[in-house]
Chain A
Amino acid sequence: DVKVTQSSRYLVKRTGEKVFLECVQDMDHENMFWYRQDPGLGLRLIYFSYDVKMKEKGDIPEGYSVSREKKERFSLILESASTNQTSMYLCASSLSGENTGELFFGEGSRLTVL
């Protein structure tokens, strides 16, 4: 079975802390994505990566960075967490080409910044 694993289901951090969210997929997918999900706003793309060491900004990259050193792992970094980054973070992966949009999602990481 296809699997996308996010390292933490729930995190509570303080303002100004550095936060790492890890995501691992076991499907040899080229593409990996980070979204945040907020009520009424749907899923908004933060960053995506179509290959190792490659990254592209999504619609809301400000305050975030990413790292993809290995094909199976895509990390989201909040350099200095702020309260407006309290959200559900979803990682996803997909094959390339016409299959790009067929995303496999992890369970999500709910981050609370106090």
Chain B
Amino acid sequence: AQSVTQLDSQVPVFEEAPVELRCNYSSSVSVYLFWYVQYPNQGLQLLLKYLSGSTLVKGINGFEAEFNKSQTSFHLRKPSVHISDTAEYFCAVTKGYQKVTFGTGTKLQVIP
């Protein structure tokens, strides 16, 4: 069975500082990996995805993530955060043709 772990439930960071949100997954087979963002009182939208190829993927709003197969991780990074990045971020995994499993989410709080 596949599962996703987001160890950090909340991450406070000062504006213009870098941030990393951690995601680890467990699966015995190849998977597809995703990061979603949920702004306050809004639905979820896709930030970026890893399907195959380059392990470094770039998404919207300056975010990027690196797929590390040996560590079964897919951490999300941004070199310089903005107040508008305050939101909850969810990591998700699927093997394709099957269910999509989400982590418990990480709330990013950007401090002015």
Residues of A whose CB lies within 8 Å of any CB of B are: 33, 35, 40-45, 48, 50, 56, 58-59, 90, 92, 94, 96-98, 100-103, 105-108
**Known contacts A40-B9, A43-B102, A58-B99; is A98 also within 8 Å of B44 by CB?**
no
Interface residue B73 (Cβ < 8 Å from any Cβ of A): no
Q: Which of the segments B54-62, B63-71, B77-85, B89-97 contacts the partner chain?
A: B89-97
- B97 touching A97 by the CB < 8 A rule? yes
The answer to whether A35 touches B104 (Cβ under 8 A) is: no
Min CB distance, B74 to chain A, in Å? 12
Contacts of B96 in A (CB 8 A): 96-98, 100-101
Cβ A100 vs Cβ B97 within 8 A:
yes
Q: Are A102 and B34 touching (Cβ within 8 A)? A: yes
Closest to B100 in A: A101
Most buried by A among B44, B46, B52: B44
Measured CB to CB, the residues of B under 8 A from A are 6, 9, 32-34, 36, 42-46, 49, 51-52, 90, 92-94, 96-105
A101 touches B104 (CB 8 A): no
Please tell me which one of the listed residues A40, A43, A101, A108 contacts residue B94 in the complex, with CB atoms under 8 A apart: A101
On whether the beta carbons of A108 and B104 are closer than 8 Å, the reply is no
- A79 to B100 Cα, complex, angstroms: 25
- Contact partner of A105 (CB less than 8 A), chosen from B9, B44, B105, is B44
Q: Across the interface, do A45 and B43 meet the contact criterion of CB distance under 8 Å?
A: no
B residues less than 8 Å from A98 (CB atoms): 32, 51-52, 96
Chain A proximity of B79: nearest CB distance (Å): 25
Contacts of A94 in B (CB 8 A): 100
Taking a contact as CB atoms under 8 Å apart, the answer to whether A101 and B49 are in contact is yes
Chain A residues whose C-beta falls within 8 Å of the C-beta of B42 in the assembled complex: 107
* CB–CB A101/B43 < 8 A: no
User: 4 shortest A-B CB distances, which residue pairs?
Assistant: A42-B104, A101-B94, A43-B102, A105-B43
Residues of B within 8 A of A50 (CB): 97
Partner of B100, one of A45, A106, A108: A45
